[in-house]
A = this chain, B = another copy of it.
Amino acid sequence: MVGVGIVGLGTVGFDTYRILRDYRSLIETRAGVDLRVVAVADADPDRLKLIGEDPDVTTTTDAPRLIEDDRVEIVVELMGGTDAAFDYTKQAIALKKWVVTANKALLAERGEDLFGFADEQGSEIGFEASVCGGIPVIRAIRDGLVGNRIHYMLGILNGTSNYILSRMADEGIPFDKALAEAQRLGFAEKDPTLDIEGIDAAHKLCILVRLALGFPMQMSEIATAGISKIEPIDIEFAKEFGYRIKLLGVAKEEENLIEARVEPAMIPIKHPMSNVNEAYNAVYLVGDNVGSNLYYGKGAGGSPTGSAVVSDIVDMALRKTVGCSRRSPIARKDGRSAKSAEKSMSPFYMRFKAQDTPGVLSRISGVLANYNISIYAVVQKGRKVDGYVPIVMLTYEASEGSLRKAKAEIDRLPFIGEETMHIRIEDREL
């Protein structure tokens, strides 16, 4: 019997408890391990009442006491945050307990410390639930693709943003309205900043880059932008050119430079990632032996995330009893470095709001030419509003730095009515 202690009884905490309770004999039959939740801690005594009458389980508001409890061999950290969660995780590892966490912020910001300490102690940190909830993407990469080098990865890593973009695309509604709908339906929090500004996705991308590319990426090195500036007109134009707009986490390795960014990007309709809609998440990657792989499922919610937490507990329980721990994911620079955002090369979509007067196209394309940016397609379409029309250009590959400089210069031209919109195009064939 392996004793499990859960710290944090929110949605994921409760579903983890429920799955371990209700699937105990199923798990024992399948995996040959007998797991029992022996203790649950939460700062809020009302939440602890959710456990009801379960004679096996000690409930406490004192997390450190739970961690010290000798019956607890695996500590499940589901409280969130990066301070107390860090201390508790360290405490558990110091006691040579093994830890399972769904805390992406903790691992992205302080994971290197924790993994290093776990290796020192012969302990282990399971983190399947920290990225893409119910999709077993961590074990797919770590175990399934162990015989591959991965140099290219795309992730739709935030269900809230993907839900909002799907609504905007399907119904032609603006961002604010789609956000309000997402909030009403429980797909977005009251304060949606972490989700819609790409920070949650960047946490997950950071973890994925360390694992898949083996590079010690720092949060500060991930160029991060959110979806709040996307307008329905951009989604319309994207469609016309054969693209969809997704909040995309992208990681690439080329010539010893590692690029990682999270931002709204256009992806070809034919790419399997373009069909990942609603609140679903997906990770697409290319391994040098396996080729293209894609993993798709629910990225959040109590049951999917609880399912992932349980998978880590089961995996650990089998090995912990015989002291067979896994090495933490190894991230080393190995002569590689993070690529600065401004050197990152892509084709871009640009939408200008310009006066409908002669010479406008020639002035804009002149500025772009000065920055060595070549134009692939131009469309001028749609009604004139207050004397302005939208002009859209797709560029060939350009560096983000040049693009931003050209854009700033164009935005100072007298016939430009508002800041120009630009969106990266993630299309390997352009």
Contacts and interface: CB of A to CB of B under 8 A. Distances in A.
Interface of A: 15, 19-20, 23, 26-27, 29-32, 128, 134-136, 139-140, 142-149, 214, 272, 275-276, 280, 287, 289-298, 301, 303-304, 306-308, 310-311, 314-315, 318-319, 322-324, 326-327, 329-330
Contact of A139 (B140, B272, B280, B314): B140
Most chain B CB within 10 A, of A30, A276, A292, A329, is at: A30
A19 B289 CA distance: 8
A285 B20 CA distance: 21
Contacts of A327: 30-32
A324 B314 contact: no
A136 B296 CA distance: 13
Pairs of residues from A and B, 3 with the lowest C-beta to C-beta distance, nearest first: A136-B144, A147-B310, A134-B290
Contacts of A308: 144, 290
Contacts of A303: 289-291
B324 A147 contact: no
B298 A290 contact: yes
A289 B147 contact: no
Given A297-B294, A324-B319, A146 B310 contact: yes
A289 B134 contact: yes
A30 to B, nearest CB: 6
A146 B289 contact: no
A45 to B, nearest CB: 27
A169 B323 CA distance: 54
A212 to B, nearest CB: 11
A195 B281 CA distance: 32
B326 A323 contact: no
Most chain B CB within 10 A, of A128, A149, A292, A294, is at: A294
Contacts of A291: 134, 297-298, 301, 303-304
Most chain B CB within 10 A, of A32, A134, A143, A275, is at: A143
17 contacts: A32-B327, A128-B144, A134-B293, A135-B293, A136-B143, A136-B293, A139-B140, A144-B308, A146-B311, A275-B275, A289-B304, A289-B306, A289-B307, A291-B304, A292-B297, A292-B298, A322-B323
Contact of A145 (B276, B296, B311): B311
A290 B297 contact: yes
A307 B287 contact: yes
Contacts of A293: 134-136, 295-297
A224 B147 CA distance: 34
B330 A326 contact: no
A290 B139 CA distance: 16
Contacts of A329: 30
A294 B293 CA distance: 11
Contact of A147 (B27, B140, B280, B294): B27
Contacts of A214: 30
Contacts of A15: 289
Given A19-B147, A145-B307, A318-B326, 18 more contacts: A128-B144, A136-B139, A136-B145, A139-B139, A139-B140, A140-B144, A143-B311, A146-B310, A146-B311, A147-B311, A289-B304, A289-B306, A290-B297, A290-B298, A290-B303, A291-B303, A294-B296, A324-B324
A148 B307 CA distance: 7
Nearest to A211: B30
Contacts of A139: 136, 139-140, 143-144
Contacts of A136: 139-140, 143-145, 293
